[in-house]
Amino acid sequence: MRVLLIEDDTVLGAAVRDQVAADGHSVDWVLRLDHAADHLKAAAYDLILLDLMLPDGRGIGFLRTIRSAGDVTPVIILTALDQITDRIDGLNAGADDYLVKPFDLSELSARLNAVSRRYAGNPNPLVTIGNLQIDLAGRSVRLNGRPVTLTAREWVLFESLVQRPGQLLSKGQLEERLYSFDTEIESNTIEVHVSRLRKKLGRESIETVRGLGYRLGEQA
C-alpha cells in the first residue's frame, strides 16, 4: 500500500513511518495539512494516517473537506485527544478508525491492515485462490500447503493483486503502491518483481495484459 502520514510530532512521525515501512508499505510523511492536500492531488493513496492537531489547522476539518469532495481513501486518526466526544466527532467526520496516543506500533499495523482489507471488500484475512493459501494478516502465502518466502516488495505487489481479483493494475499503479516520492525507481522494477513472483508461486499466478498491466492469474 501507499500511505500518507500527516503528523507534526517528528519523534512519533519517524517511529510511525519506520513501522509502516517495515511492514512493506511505502510512506509519504508530511507535517502540515496544506502539504497533505498537495500530496493527495499528486498521488493515489491507499490509506491516510491523520493527526488532529496540526500547525496549520485541525485534522477534523481536513477530513470533512476531503470527504465532501468525494475522497473515499481510508483514514485512521492518530491523536492525543481521548475524550469520547472527540472519537465520535472523528468517526462522524468520516474516519475509519481512531487510535489514541500513546499507542503500540504493532497495534497500528494490525488496524492499518484491517482497514485496508475492509476497503478491498474482503475483511477475512484468510484467502484461498486455487492452490495458493494466503494469510493477509500474517503476511504469508503457501503453495499447495508449503510456505513460500516473499520479500517485502514482492509481498506488497502480490497483496495488491490479491485484494483486487480480476482487476487490472497498471505498472504505474503498482509503482505507486510500492514506492514513496523520494524513492528512485528503475524502469524494469515491476517486471523484475513479477518475474520473481512467478518463479515462486507459479507461471500462471500473475497474468500480463500487454500494454495495460497485471492481474491475478485465473489459475492462481
pLDDT digits (tens, 9 = 90+) for 13-33: 999 999 998 888 889 999 999
Q: Which domains does the chain have, with CATH numbers?
A: 2-119 (3.40.50.2300), 126-216 (1.10.10.10)
Per-residue pLDDT tens for 91-131?
999 999 999 999 999 999 999 988 887 776 666 678 888 88
CA 127 to each of CA 74, 123, 158: distance values in angstroms, whole numbers, following the listed order: 22, 10, 13
Residue 180: pLDDT band (50, 70, 90) is low
Instruction: Give the pLDDT band of residue 181 (cuts 50, 70, 90).
Output: low
Average pLDDT, integer, range 148-152:
91
Region 170-175: what's the mean pLDDT?
88
| pLDDT (0 to 100) of residue 178 | 77
User: 92: phi > 0 → left, psi -120 to 50 → alpha, else beta; which?
Assistant: alpha
